[in-house]
């Protein structure tokens, strides 16, 4: 499935569908595609609306920001869908980005690495395809 | 606060320019982008929309209707 983007835009922003703990509870957000981010990241209030409890999470990750190091909760989201692909049980960081960035979070490597990502900047085209199975013995 | 008629995403962008909107999604495309829905709340204050959406159960999208910042901004997360 092909996604068209503006190659001159300051970020590539995609809609991501997050599944809540209960069936039917769903949120769609605009996340910046970020191959420099280890984890996918969503805001606190969205996580809460989906029925997750980031404040109770014992899993914390050091997040290096311009303002210093923060300890940010990690939760497991039942299902994350973006660019026509789905990952179940995705670990997601919970942290609010500054509103001036006008995106709600980040679509990071822990989602993208399940697939073959092709970014064609001259044509402004992005595809995310199911990864081909690795041949046995290949590295 | 809810707009009583279903609007397309283009209509929502026209009616609520440069705002954060909360949309009850009625229709999506193959990539999960909302195509049509009810505007349940809108505000220039993102955190207000984040707070309001916690009151709703169902399929909702949070969306900024304006463009990404360009002049004088660089985005680094």
CB contact, 8 Å: A1 with chain B?
A: yes
- Say what the pLDDT of residue A133 is: 61
How many contacts does A have with B, using Cβ atoms within 8 A?
Answer: 97
Domain ranges of chain A: 2-130
What is d(CA B63, CA B22) in angstroms, rounded to the nearest whole number? 7
The number of domains in chain B is 1
- Say what the pLDDT of residue A120 is: 97
Is B70 domain-assigned?
no
Provide the ipTM: 0.89
Is B50 domain-assigned?
yes
Is B71 domain-assigned?
no
Across A108-127, b (16+ Cβ under 10 Å) vs e yields bbbbbeebebebeeeeeebe
Domain coverage including residue B35:
7-64
β-pair partners for A128: A117
Is B73 domain-assigned?
no
pLDDT tens-digit readout, B30-69: 999 999 999 999 999 999 999 999 999 999 999 999 988 7
Put simply, the chain A residues between 70 and 129 with a CB less than 8 A from any chain B CB are: 81-84, 97, 99-104, 106
Residue B8 pLDDT level (bands cut at 50, 70, 90) = very high
Asked if residue A20 lies in contact with residue A85, where contact means CB atoms within 8 angstroms, the answer is: no
Query: Pairing between strand A105-107 and A26-33?
Result: parallel
Is B57 domain-assigned?
yes
Record the pTM: 0.90
CATH number of A2-130: 2.40.70.10
């Amino acid at each position: 499935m092909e996604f068209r983007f503006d190659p001159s835009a300051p970020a590539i922003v995609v809609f991501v569908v997050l599944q809540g703990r209960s069936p039917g509870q769903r949120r769609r957000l605009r996340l910046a595609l970020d191959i420099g981010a280890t984890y996918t990241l969503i805001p606190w209030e969205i996580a809460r609306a989906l029925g997750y409890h980031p404040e109770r999470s014992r899993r914390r990750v050091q997040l290096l920001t311009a303002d210093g190091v923060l300890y940010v909760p990690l939760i497991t989201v039942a299902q994350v869908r973006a660019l026509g692909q789905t990952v179940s049980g995705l670990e997601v960081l919970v942290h609010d980005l500054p509103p001036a960035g006008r995106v709600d979070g980040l679509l990071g490597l822990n989602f993208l690495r399940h697939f073959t990502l092709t970014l064609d900047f001259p044509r402004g085209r992005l595809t995310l395809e199911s990864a081909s199975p690795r041949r046995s013995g290949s590295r | 606060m809810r707009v009583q008629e279903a609007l397309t995403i283009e209509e929502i962008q026209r009616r609520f320019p440069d705002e954060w909107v909360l949309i009850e999604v009625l229709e999506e495309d193959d990539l999960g982008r909302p195509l049509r829905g009810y505007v349940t709340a809108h505000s220039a204050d993102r955190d207000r929309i984040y707070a309001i959406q916690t009151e709703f159960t169902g399929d909702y999208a949070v969306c900024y209707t304006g463009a990404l910042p360009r002049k004088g901004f660089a985005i680094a997360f």
